[in-house]
Structure 1
Amino acid sequence: MLRLTSPATVILLAALTALGPLATDMYLPAMPAMAEALNTGPDQVQLTLSLYMAGFALAQLFCGPLADRFGRKPIMVGGFALFLAASLLCALAPSIEWLLAGRFLQALGGAAGPVLGRAAVRDIYGPLEAGRILSHLASIMALAPALAPVVGAGLLMFFGWEAIFLVLALYAAVALALLIFALPEPLPRELRQPIGPAAMLGNFRLLLGQRAFVGYTLTNAAAFSGLFAYLSGSAFVLIEFIGVHPTTYGILFALIVAGFFSGTVISGRYSRRLGRDRLILRGALLCTLGGTTMALLALAGAAQAWAVVGPHIVFMMGVGILMPQTMAGALAPNPQCAGSASSLFGFLQMGIAALVGGLVGQLHDDTSRTLALTIGLAGITALAVYWGLVRPAARREARQALSE
């Protein structure tokens, strides 16, 4: 067994948490090919992504409170086992309906990794160090979405889209073995909470009554919606509208992830010097700059890959800065129900993103306008929520600290 505070444990938690990005990003280059193979339209294939996110959001409401009661490790084991079986169902799906069912089950199982990985970091490192560790964890995790579309494009080219889901099943099997034999239980027995419906609802009501929790969560959800809008619509915009090859799409996606990676590095390096809230402001400003630039270029009729990818690199740098800090801010004041806080945080993040992604798929007009306008609006919303909710809560917290 690993030591809880060892770097190897952080790497393992990152690998477990990365299952979510892998399940969304690896098959992106194959979406047009899947639509053709399953004799369906882009909106139905895009629905596999939105349905995954909706299931992911729903599952998080339950796996966090369950983990507060029974511990992080057993819930993660059950989730990864379900993800493994669902990945095999996706690989063997004979129709879009079976694929949709498999993706929903994937989401139910895959939710355990991210939500309990965040909670485990809070368990191990406490409120002050959690933001820095989550930034480092996000930096490690950035390797997954950077490589996933390139790997997915290669699997598509040589083996077909079904191989993508077989590789996801293999990853889940390896992660499951490491989880069982290498990860200690991070939640002490004395901190475990009851699981009754009244206790769950009481925890959720407590969290929703905290202005800071709502502000950090909605700032994150707005930025994440811009990220997810790109996941939902970029393959059809870049591959079908602009004419980018699937392999080139994977390379461009890696550049975008490099922007996210650089943001997480900045977030971790300056976490102590600048503090959580000043970093969030800088991240939200970058999201607004990148998103509005992309929207203006789309409205001006720029139909080149650089007009989509370039601004989104800036947007993703902002996401990389603010995402770990908003996670830490939402979880910091709630050690007694960190699992429930992580669950509700993830539910709102993923649920809002799923709605936005579904709208991008339904409103896609065979140009880049819908995608770009959505990402621009996401950046503006993240900044507005920060100013309206997070900043006042941070000022009040600072005044209370001074008075004490």
Structure 2
Amino acid sequence: MLALTSIWTTILLAAAVALGPLAVDMYLPALPQIGADFHTGTDQVQLTLSLYLAGFALAQLICGPLADRFGRKPIMVGGFLLFALASVGCALATNIETLQLSRFLQALGGSAGPVLGRAIVRDIYTPRDAAKILALLASIMALAPAVAPTLGGLMVAGFSWHWIFIAMGGYALLMAAVTAFGIPEPLPPSHRQPLRPRQLFANYRRISTDASFLGYTLTNAAIYGGLFAFLSGASFVLIDVLGVKPEHFGLYFASMVAGYIAGNLGSIRLARYLSPDQILLYGLITSLVGGAAMALLAYQHVHSPWAVMIPQAIFMAGTGLALPQCMAGALANFPTMAGSASALFGFIQMTAAAIAGALVGALHNGTPLVMATIIALCAGLAMIAYLLLAQRYPAKAFETPNASV
């Protein structure tokens, strides 16, 4: 077993948590081919993503309290095993309905990694340190979406989309073993919560009425909605509308990931000089600039892959700055119920993502316009949530005598 504060623990934890983005990003190049194979429309294919996000959101409300009661490791391992079984179901699907159901089951297992990864960081570190560790963890995790679309595109071109889900299942089994044998249990017995319905609802009521939690969580949910609006529409816009080949999709996608990594690394460096809330504000401004630029180019009928990807890279740089601060700020006030707080945080985040993704699929009009508009609106909503709530009710652990906002 590794020490909890070891960099190798952070790397292993990032690899385990990366299963969440991997399950989304790896099959994005296959969406048009899945629609063709099952003779169904864009909205039904996109529903495999929205159902995954919905299942992901709901499952977090369950696995968070379970982890607060029984510990982080057994829930994470069980989630990875369920994800692996559901991946087999996806690979063997013979119609769109079976694939949609299997994707929903995949999400139930896949939710354990991200929600408990955040909780583990809160278990180990103080809120201010947690913001830096979450940024580092996110930078490592970003390798998954950087590589996954390229691998998925190569599998679609060279084999079939079914192999994407087989690869996902194998990765989940590997992460189950890594979690079981490589990462110590971080939750001390003194912090374990009773698993009684009345206590559970009391915990969620306390968390959901905390103004600071709501501010950071709603800010995060809006910016995350913009991210998933892109994920939901990118393959159709780039491949079907702008003519990018599936095997090249990952190369374009990598520019977005590069922006995100730059934001994460910038967050770590800026933490030496600025308060988390200052970094969050700069991130939101950057995302708003990127989203507005993409929408403006789309309204001007500038139809080029780079008219989408350059603004999205700017949006993602801002997202990389903002998300670690939102995560750490939302969990700062709940050291003894970090699992439940992380679960509610993730539920709201993924609900917003599912809504944004569903809107892109339902309103897609054969141009980049719908996707770009929703991304810009999400960036605007994130800024509003920050100004109305997070800025007025900052996390107490984020406050420093010398910080000025």
Shared fold per TM-score greater than 0.5: yes
CA deviation after TM superposition for structure 1 residue 319, in Å:
0.5
Alignment correspondent of 1:72: 72
Following the alignment from structure 2 to structure 1, what is the Cα–Cα distance between the partners of residues 83 and 394? 39
TM-aligned CA deviation for residue 42 of structure 1: 1.0
Q: CA deviation at 1:228?
A: 0.1
**1:274 counterpart SS class:** coil
Larger helix proportion of the pair: 1
Q: Deviations over 1:235-288 (max 9, x none)?
A: 111111111111222100011100000000011121232111000000100110
Q: Percent identity?
A: 54
Q: Distance in 1 between matches of 2:71 and 2:401?
A: 33
Any idea what the Cα deviations from partners look like across 1:50-74, whole Å, max 9, x if unmatched?
A: 0000000000001001100000001
Describe how 1:37-52 pairs up with structure 2 within 5 A.
Answer: 37-52=37-52
Aligned in 2, Cα 1:24/1:398: closer, same or farther, shift over 3 Å?
closer
Q: Which amino acid aligns with 1:334?
A: F
Q: For 1:138, what is the secondary structure of its paired residue? A: helix
CA shift for structure 1 position 397: 8.1
Q: Does 1:344 align with 2:344?
A: yes
Give the secondary-structure state (helix, strand or coil) at the position aligned to 2:125: helix
Q: Distance in 1 between matches of 2:301 and 2:127?
A: 47
Superimposed CA distance per residue, residues 180-223 of structure 1 (whole angstroms, 9 cap, x where no aligned partner): 11111010111100111111111111111111100100111111
Give 1:18's aligned amino acid. Answer: A
- What's 2:250 paired with? 250
Give the letter aligned to residue 278 of structure 2: R
Offset of 1:396 from its aligned partner? Answer: 8.3
**What secondary structure does 2:394 align onto?**
helix
Give the whole-Å Cα distance in 2 for the aligned partners of 1:20 and 1:351: 15
Asked whether the 8 Å contact 2:38–2:96 carries over to 1, the reply is yes
What is the letter of the counterpart of residue 192 of structure 2? R
Matched, 1:140 2:140: yes
Over 6 Å off, 4+ runs: 395-402
- Tell me, what secondary structure is at the counterpart of 1:335? coil
Structure 1: tracts of 5 or more residues without a match: none
Instruction: Point out where structure 2 has 5 or more consecutive residues left out of the alignment.
Output: none
Distance (whole Å) between structure 2 residues aligned to residue 31 and residue 207 of structure 1: 38
Measured against aligned partners, the alpha-carbon deviations of 1:304-342 in whole angstroms (never above 9, x if no partner) come to 111111100000000000001100000111101100000
Contact 2:219-2:326 within 8 A present in 1 as well: yes
In the TM superposition, 1:105-254 aligns within 5 A as 105-254=105-254
Cross-structure match for 2:22: 22
Aligned residue for 1:117, secondary structure, equals: helix
- 2:302 is aligned to 302
Q: Any idea what the Cα deviations from partners look like across 1:335-390, whole Å, max 9, x if unmatched?
A: 01100000000000001110111011001111111000000101111111111111
Give the distance between the partners of 2:88 and 2:126, measured in 1 at CA. 38
CA RMSD of aligned residues (A): 1.5
Q: The residue matched to 2:337 in structure 1 has which SS?
A: helix
Q: Which moved more, 1:392-401 or 1:224-233?
A: 392-401
SS at match of 1:366: coil
- Say whether residues 1:278 and 2:278 are aligned partners: yes
- Give 2:56's aligned residue: 56
Alpha carbons of structure 1 residues 62 and 265: separation in structure 2 relative to 1, 3 Å: same
- Could you say what secondary structure the match of 1:39 adopts? coil
TM-score when normalising by structure 1: 0.97
2 CA distance for matches of 1:178 and 1:337?
Answer: 25
Deviates more, 1:190-199 or 1:342-351: 190-199
SS at match of 2:187: coil
Relative to the length of structure 2, the TM-score reads 0.97
CA distance in 2, matches of 1:354, 1:3: 36
1:72-120 Cα shifts (integer Å, max 9, x gaps): 0010111001000000110010110110011000000000000001100
Number of residue pairs matched?
A: 402
